[in-house]
Structures are given as structure tokens and as C-alpha cells.
Amino acid sequence: MTLMFATQNIHKKEEMAALLVPHAIIMPSELGIDFSFEEIGSTFIENALGKAEHLFMMTGKPSIADDSGLQVDALGGSPGIYSARYGSDVFGRMLDAPEKNRYLLSNLQGVEGAARSARFICAIALVLSPSRKYVVQETVEGRIAHKPFGDGGFGYDPVFLVGDNERTMAELTPAEKHRVSHRGIAARKILTILASIENKEILHVC
């Protein structure tokens, strides 16, 4: 199945394309579509579903969207749904990933051990028609490191220690990351949904 992906982030597109093989993933910009959506939802699910619904309305094609972020317990769950905009209210501009990571680490000075617990959250929404919508949400638990490690991944990956080990998400190979990440777990559930849908359609045609 060919799926429109509600993003302008090429890194997310590449990761989602790898996770949803054999389905084809297309960004709106690849079809000359100027896509934008204001994320005003109070949850990851609301934002993901809102983006997918909006893109479906624009294209009439099966659409998928994700909303994901980092939730740090010692910061009351921040940055949460504001992960992409973290620190912009303080600095008056959007920060790049290394800047956001430095700002996050500065806010955790003096916080040690288990108190640095955190999780990545990913909600993925799939819209096939106005009345056929599916949403899954998954997490991966971990801790915030004291400094960035690793050259892989993107966003907060270099400061997120996965599970109980001492490797950050950015130190994992792509295959390892896909296996344990919040987005990887959620994407596998979407794959199951897509396979079920396609099987039903094949049986119906027969």
C-alpha cells in the first residue's frame, strides 16, 4: 500500500519507510503538496490523528502520521508534546537538536540515578477514509544520560539511555533501534493492522 506521511522531516520519513516495509511512504512535498498542521492537541494521539486526518482531507489518499516526544519524570513530564519546541519560549527561537539536548541536561543538573527516568512516546495514526481510522501508541523506558553519546539517530537520541543499559539510542545500530524504539514498536502494530486490512480486501475480491 502507498501511504502519505504527514511530515516535512526527511529523517522521520526515512525511518518510517524502513519500519513499514513493504509499504511505500511518500511525503507531501514529494508530490508538490505544501503541507502544514498546527499541533494544538493536548496529547500525542490527538496531534498524530489530527495530522493524518488533515493530510487525508488534502489528498484523499491513505495517510499516516506520528507524534512523538520525550517525557522526563524529574521535569514533570516535560518536554512531552512540546519536545520539538523545547526551549523556544526561553530562547525566543527554535533550537536545533544539540541545543535542546544541552538545555535538557542543564535542567537536570543535580538530578541523579533513578530520578533521571524518562521515556520516549510515539503515537501513530492511520486514516484510510473518513470512517476508517486507527491509532496506536507505544513507549520505550530509559534514563537521561549526563552527556550526549553516539552519532546515530536524531533529536534526543544521544541523551536517552535505553532501558537499564548504558547505551544511548544514538549508539544503537539502525536494526537495534528499530527493534526497541517507541516508533519501531508502534510501527509493527500498524503493520499488523495493514496486513489485516489487505488480507480482508483480498478475501473480499475472491
List active site positions. Answer: 67
Burial per residue of 9-34, b for 16 or more beta-carbon CB atoms within 10 angstroms, e otherwise? eeebbebbbebbeebebbbbeeeeee
User: Comparing C-alpha atoms, which of 123, 135, 121 is closest to residue 73?
Assistant: 121
Distance of CA 202 to the CA centre of its chain: 31
C-alpha cell at 76: 514533570
Q: How far apart are the first and last CA of the chain?
A: 19
Place of cell 500498524: 190
Q: Taking CA 115 as the corner, what is the angle to CA 109 and CA 119, rounded to the nearest 5 degrees?
A: 100
Tell me whether strands 63-72 and 2-5 are parallel, antiparallel or unpaired.
parallel
Count of C-beta atoms within a 10 Å radius of residue 181: 25
Q: Taking CA 7 as the corner, what is the angle to CA 140 and CA 35, rounded to the nearest 5 degrees?
A: 155
